[in-house]
Chain A
């Protein structure tokens, strides 16, 4: 059994944040049907981005402005347990798909809304993307500090937090519904997420002293918790969590003299002389390759880790041993390696049912499930109400050259041809 087996999601999301919610629900076994306009989710333009947030889902393409579309969507919603959307506040209402309308179609629907700015307040109807919220919320200045320019977090921090909060909300609402029979409206937003991500510093009381540790190209918070570089140019992080580890660090580096140095006698003293200590440690580390430092430090009981790059991560023995990556044959992109399901359950398993779908790949399939006849579906297609992606030739039936063009290795081609 899958944790969310039998749960159907009508997925109106676009871009990263909303799609991330349904992505997590799909990983837990929900049947997610992504509903896109004829020109698709704009996020499709970023192939990796789309793939990383839409695998496992089915996709239908439909023109919601056509009158016939309304009936199809209503029929779909009537079969759904959840509806998820991240449009600007007000946009779903204009389509006749606001919570009040949807409840009339499906009285116990769980309606998850994830707008950028939240549904209330002066900006609720304004457009917003992750960095807009990074900017407003203090996150960019938190990273760059007060003296240096603000820094754009490369990870779309709020776009990634809101899905986890939204999926948490979805699971809670499902729990309520299974116990009471009632659905409800659930909301999170990029704005809420930005507050939750800063929960440790989004604090204010009389007399509080606020610190701004961020700065340009920051390498860590202090000399004993910081990135250092070896002679091979390899960077690694060293993190002494207590005095014992600080002593071990000095021993490993042959810097026992620092233990007798009054400037570094206590954590407070070390903080006071942080620049001097950083300089000493930087010089000391820059005597041996970083690749050697990491195991030396780890064996000595000093927490340390390589500052890994993406190429390294994709071959990382820990990831491989834990099967953290999945291999898929994507109908458009060929062989792909993507991240697998993250939370693990002892009695159940997550699932990734398929690669990210093509635009309208499952239109016919879903409409048939909703009870439409092939003739009706053809008529919808002719009238440009719905759109079906051209069927892709199964990979196993393609020629060797076609497969090579898609990036398949000889070994992969052989495996495909053997029907493996």
Chain B
């Protein structure tokens, strides 16, 4: 065995982000992923991220509304270990690729259905767009701290859903080894985004309700500026770090000062504002890089704020092999995310670029036993 999913076949009906990304994570770990696109193609093809979320896959176009398209997809499903789809609830069934239909053909199949809000409940049929899900999940109001919501630039719901989908699929593949049977797993963008907020999506008497601000409100755990106006994050996440910090700054008296009661995380309003003002003044005496250097050498958690283009050169991500270089037709050499989970015995790898639409029609259909003539006929008839 070279990779964890060597020999596993995945049929990827995913579109946009969550479905394709989940399938890509499986491809990175050795699965043979075949992306199935409707004749119009994945609506995200023009987006920058598309080449990453679809790397290492084979690609076929298939018109599921034609009987031959249905026949081909059923043959592919019979051979697949995993199916991933993220249509709106009910659409996969209408296309003849629902769980009931496909699992009957192949009871060992693990079928992962990703949707905006899950297969039941009042929001089931709401369009599962990233910001619609996010808006209902409270993340915008939490980021804006109740007074006014703030939009979040990263597509967190789709990304977390992709991770959860990959987790659910592999868990079901593991269980299949014991039971011999496949099953359906359901992941919603909404559920995945709530899972990422599990530390405040709860209720009990005595629950802390921290205020919030865009640069943070915990004095020992927030963004500050050096004298040059550049930003850094100071993250004194334990009392030990706070102790070392106070000593380093020559202010051991802080350790007994009631102003710092609750350090590191529970210096509550209105005291937090006083401590923040005090530290802001202190930090205006040296440049950002001087502070970062001083704190780093004292083993205190801190970091400069950087733009993403600087991150490509970060020795940390280079050493941990998080930058992959892929030769992408049309774009040349593209630097992109490496494999985010590393294995000592079965290391993953990026197998290749993102395919063009229908690039592997011939290859995939030949694998099913169709002749070149039949493939040409499918093409003429608009099946592929």
* Chain A interfacial residues counted at CB < 8 A: 149
Pick the most buried of A99, A217, A306, A322: most chain B CB atoms within 10 A of its CB: A322
Report yes or no: B198 in contact with A305, Cβ–Cβ below 8 A: no
Report yes or no: B160 in contact with A203, Cβ–Cβ below 8 A: no
- Other-chain contact of B335, A169, A204, A305 (Cβ < 8 Å): A204
Q: What residues on A are CB-neighbors of B17 within 8 Å?
A: 200
Query: Who on chain A is nearest to B206 by CB?
Result: A333
Would A197 and B154 be within 8 Å (CB), given that A141-B308, A164-B160, A317-B122 are in contact?
Answer: yes
Interface hits, B316-343 → A, CB 8 Å: 316-320, 322-323, 328, 331-338, 340-343
- Other-chain contact of B334, A128, A193, A204, A306 (Cβ < 8 Å): A204
B368 sits at the interface (CB 8 A): no
- Other-chain contact of A345, B135, B151, B172, B304 (Cβ < 8 Å): B172
Cα distance A205–B344 when bound, in Å? 30
Would A338 and B315 be within 8 Å (CB), given that A154-B143, A161-B160 are in contact?
Answer: no
Report yes or no: A200 in contact with B52, Cβ–Cβ below 8 A: yes
Report yes or no: B99 in contact with A346, Cβ–Cβ below 8 A: yes
Cα distance A206–B153 when bound, in Å? 24
B203 sits at the interface (CB 8 A): yes
Report yes or no: A121 in contact with B177, Cβ–Cβ below 8 A: no
Cα distance A93–B5 when bound, in Å? 30
How far, in Å, is A338 (CB) from chain B's closest CB?
4
A366 sits at the interface (CB 8 A): no
Q: What residues on B are CB-neighbors of A117 within 8 Å?
A: 316, 320
Would A197 and B170 be within 8 Å (CB), given that A48-B200, A203-B336 are in contact?
Answer: no
Report yes or no: A203 in contact with B48, Cβ–Cβ below 8 A: yes
Report yes or no: A178 in contact with B183, Cβ–Cβ below 8 A: no
The 25 sampled A-B contact pairs (Cβ below 8 Å) are A4-B174, A53-B198, A99-B344, A122-B315, A128-B235, A137-B311, A138-B307, A153-B154, A167-B167, A169-B341, A173-B343, A180-B1, A188-B340, A192-B341, A196-B159, A200-B17, A202-B336, A203-B336, A204-B309, A227-B140, A237-B131, A308-B141, A343-B185, A344-B186, A346-B186
How far, in Å, is B262 (CB) from chain A's closest CB?
9
Cα distance A108–B28 when bound, in Å? 24
One of A60-68, A142-150, A247-255, A388-396 contacting the partner: A142-150
Would A306 and B303 be within 8 Å (CB), given that A176-B4, A322-B118, A343-B186 are in contact?
Answer: no
Interface 1/0 per residue, A129-144 and B, CB below 8 Å:
1011111111111111
Would A123 and B316 be within 8 Å (CB), given that A51-B204, A149-B214 are in contact?
Answer: yes
- Other-chain contact of B202, A52, A167, A208 (Cβ < 8 Å): A52
A195 sits at the interface (CB 8 A): yes
- Other-chain contact of B160, A51, A139, A160, A219 (Cβ < 8 Å): A160
One of B267-275, B276-284, B293-301, B373-381 contacting the partner: B293-301
Having A313-B194, A322-B118, A407-B204, one finds 4 other A-B pairs with CB under 8 Å, namely: A187-B342, A192-B320, A203-B334, A322-B121
Taking residues whose C-beta sits less than 8 angstroms from the other chain, chain B's interface range is 35 or more
Report yes or no: B208 in contact with A47, Cβ–Cβ below 8 A: yes
A18 sits at the interface (CB 8 A): no
Interface hits, A319-337 → B, CB 8 Å: 319, 321-322, 324, 330, 333-337
Would A189 and B314 be within 8 Å (CB), given that A24-B167, A199-B52, A200-B52 are in contact?
Answer: no
One of B62-70, B71-79, B216-224, B247-255 contacting the partner: B216-224
The residues of B with any CB-CB pair to A shorter than 8 Å are 1, 4-5, 17, 21, 25, 29, 47-49, 51-53, 99, 117-118, 120-123, 126-127, 129, 131-146, 148-156, 159-160, 163-168, 170-175, 177-179, 181, 183-187, 190-192, 194-208, 212, 214-216, 221-223, 231-233, 235, 237-239, 241, 265-266, 296, 299-312, 314-320, 322-323, 328, 331-338, 340-346
Cα distance A133–B349 when bound, in Å? 24
Would A118 and B319 be within 8 Å (CB), given that A53-B198, A205-B334, A334-B205 are in contact?
Answer: yes
Report yes or no: B301 in contact with A200, Cβ–Cβ below 8 A: no
Report yes or no: A303 in contact with B132, Cβ–Cβ below 8 A: yes
Q: What residues on A are CB-neighbors of B1 within 8 Å?
A: 176, 179-180
Q: What residues on A are CB-neighbors of B314 within 8 Å?
A: 136-137
Cα distance A206–B332 when bound, in Å? 8
Q: What residues on B are CB-neighbors of A15 within 8 Å?
A: 237
Report yes or no: B21 in contact with A241, Cβ–Cβ below 8 A: no
Report yes or no: B335 in contact with A205, Cβ–Cβ below 8 A: yes
Query: Who on chain B is nearest to A15 by CB?
Result: B237
Report yes or no: B307 in contact with A3, Cβ–Cβ below 8 A: no
A270 sits at the interface (CB 8 A): no
A1 sits at the interface (CB 8 A): yes
A244 sits at the interface (CB 8 A): no
Report yes or no: B345 in contact with A182, Cβ–Cβ below 8 A: yes
Cα distance A182–B345 when bound, in Å? 8
Q: What residues on B are CB-neighbors of A1 within 8 Å?
A: 175, 179
How far, in Å, is B111 (CB) from chain A's closest CB?
8
Report yes or no: B196 in contact with A160, Cβ–Cβ below 8 A: yes
Would A135 and B304 be within 8 Å (CB), given that A15-B237, A118-B320, A205-B335 are in contact?
Answer: yes
Top 5 closest A-B pairs, CB basis? Answer: A200-B49, A138-B308, A121-B319, A407-B205, A164-B163
How far, in Å, is B168 (CB) from chain A's closest CB?
4
Report yes or no: B184 in contact with A42, Cβ–Cβ below 8 A: no
A26 sits at the interface (CB 8 A): no
Cα distance A269–B48 when bound, in Å? 21
Interface 1/0 per residue, A29-72 and B, CB below 8 Å:
00000000000001001111101110000000000000000000
